[in-house]
A and B are shown apart, each in its own frame.
Chain A
Amino acid sequence: MQLLNTLLIGITAGSIYSLMAIAFVLVWRSTRVVNFAQAGMALLSTYFGYEAVSRFGSFWIALPVAMIGGALFAALVELVLMRLLVKHASSGPIAGVAPIIATLGLLGVIKSAITIIWGGQDQRIVAPISNNGFTVNGSTLVFSPLKLFILVVVVILLIILSILFQKTNLGLALRASAHAPEIARLSGIKVDAVRTLGWALAGAAGAVAGLFQTVNGNGNLSPDSSEFSLLLVSGFIAAVIGGLDSLLGAVLGGLFLGIAISFVLMYVSSGLFFIAPFVILLLVLFIRPQGIIGVKVGRRA
Chain B
Amino acid sequence: MSLNVSNLTVHHGAICAVNQVSIAVPTGTLAAIIGSNGAGKTTLLRALSGLNKPTSGVVNWMGERITGEKPEKLVRMGISHVSEGKSVIPELTVKENLELGAIWRKDGKEMKESLEQVVSIFPRLGERISQRSDTLSGGERQMLAIGRAIMSKPKLLLLDEPSLGLAPLVVEQIFQTIRDLTTQMRLTVLLVEQNAMGALKIADLGIVLNLGKVVAVNHAQALIEDPAVRAAYLGY
Contact = CB atoms under 8 A, between A and B. Distances in A.
Direct contact of A and B (CB under 8 A): yes
Interface of A: 169, 172-173, 175-176, 179-180, 182-191, 295, 299
A169 B82 CA distance: 21
A266 B150 CA distance: 59
Contacts of A187: 75, 100-101, 103-104, 148, 152
A186 B75 contact: yes
A299 B90 contact: yes
A173 B101 CA distance: 11
- In this complex, the interface size class of chain B, counting residues with CB under 8 Å from chain A, is 20 to 34
Contact of A188 (B72, B87, B88): B72
Contacts of A183: 83, 87-89, 100
A175 B91 contact: yes
A183 B82 CA distance: 8
A180 B72 contact: no
Given A172-B100, A175-B92, A179-B91, A185 B106 contact: no
Nearest to B111: A169
B71 interface: yes
B36 to A, nearest CB: 25
Interface string B31-62: 00000000000000000011100000000000
A57 B109 CA distance: 48
Given A169-B103, A172-B96, A173-B103, A185 B89 contact: no
B157 to A, nearest CB: 12
B22 to A, nearest CB: 25
A185 B51 contact: yes
Interface in B123-173: 148, 152
A187 B97 CA distance: 10
B193 interface: no
Contacts of B83: 182-183, 186
B75 to A, nearest CB: 4
B89 A176 contact: yes
B11 interface: no
B72 A185 contact: yes
Given A169-B103, A172-B96, A172-B99, A186 B49 contact: yes
A172 B99 CA distance: 9
Contact of B89 (A169, A180, A191): A180
A29 to B, nearest CB: 11
22 contacts: A169-B103, A169-B106, A172-B92, A173-B103, A175-B89, A175-B96, A176-B89, A179-B91, A179-B92, A180-B87, A182-B51, A182-B87, A183-B89, A186-B71, A186-B75, A186-B81, A186-B82, A186-B87, A188-B103, A189-B72, A189-B104, A191-B72
A175 B89 CA distance: 10
A32 to B, nearest CB: 15
A176 B100 contact: yes
B186 interface: no
Interface in B59-93: 70-72, 75-76, 80-83, 87-92
Nearest to B148: A187
Contacts of A172: 92, 96, 99-100, 103
A176 B152 CA distance: 16
Nearest to A187: B100
Contacts of B72: 185, 188-191
Given A179-B91, A179-B92, A185 B71 contact: yes
A119 B104 CA distance: 47
Contacts of B106: 169
Given A172-B103, A173-B103, A188 B89 contact: no
B147 to A, nearest CB: 12
Given A182-B87, A183-B100, A189-B103, 17 more contacts: A169-B106, A173-B103, A176-B92, A179-B90, A179-B91, A182-B83, A186-B81, A186-B87, A187-B100, A187-B148, A187-B152, A188-B71, A188-B75, A188-B76, A188-B104, A189-B104, A295-B91
Contacts of B70: 185
A173 to B, nearest CB: 6
Contacts of B101: 187
A187 B96 CA distance: 12
A64 B125 CA distance: 44
A181 B51 CA distance: 11
A120 to B, nearest CB: 45
What 8 A-B pairs are tightest by C-beta distance, nearest first?
A188-B104, A188-B75, A185-B71, A187-B100, A180-B89, A179-B91, A186-B81, A188-B72
A299 B91 CA distance: 10
A179 B81 CA distance: 18
Interface in B13-33: none
